[in-house]
Amino acid sequence: MTQLPEGFQRIVVGVDFSPSSLHALEVARTRFPGAQLRLLHVTDARAGTAPDLMGGITPITPDTELLRTLEGADAERLSGLVQEGEEAAQLVGDPVTGILQDAQAWGAELIVVGTHAQGALEHFFLGSTAERVVARSPVPVLTVRVPGDRR
């Protein structure tokens, strides 16, 4: 394996299928050629709601059929992103905790995540997954924003 200048050989890339996470994946592939990449998606299973087809909302809990359907669709999308020599993992739960625990268990030396441009109000209420990963991670985290994505 080629030695990388930064020494990062094992890199977890958080993938939520958004444009920013797909851009982060591309940056990881081009910036760290030769590194082992692990594409990680965490299906968010925290109790909450999701829009349904009739315009209402459906409760999501870890044991609902909706969650199982989402998890299956996410697994299919994730497998479509994996390139030769890369591996993928899918978890269910809190995305921040999932990313951090998987990175530690896998022995990641770097975590790469995309950032979403948010307005101040949206950030206040929703926070930022990338921000929480940076704050809690014991290993370096590279945050990547899609060029020109500014709010």
Asked if residue 31 lies in contact with residue 25, where contact means CB atoms within 8 angstroms, the answer is no
Phi, psi at 25, each rounded to 5°? -65, -45
Q: Note the pLDDT of residue 121.
A: 47
Going by their DSSP bridges, the two strands 57-60 and 48-51 should be labelled as antiparallel
- 3-class DSSP state for residue 129? helix
pTM of the model: 0.78
For helices 95-106 and 129-136, angle between their N-to-C axes, nearest 10 degrees? 40
Per the CATH hierarchy, to which homologous superfamily does domain 10-145 belong? HUPs (3.40.50.620)
Output the 3-class SS for 71-126.
HHHHHHHHHHHCCCCCEEEEEEECHHHHHHHHHHHHCCCEEEEEECCCCHHHHHHH
Give the mean model confidence (pLDDT) for residues 86-107: 93
Query: Buried b vs exposed e over 132-146: b needs ≥16 C-beta within 10 Å?
Result: bbbeebebebbbbbb
Residue-range domain boundaries for the chain? 10-145
Give the mean model confidence (pLDDT) for residues 16-41: 94
Q: Note the pLDDT of residue 149.
A: 61
Give the mean model confidence (pLDDT) for residues 9-18: 94
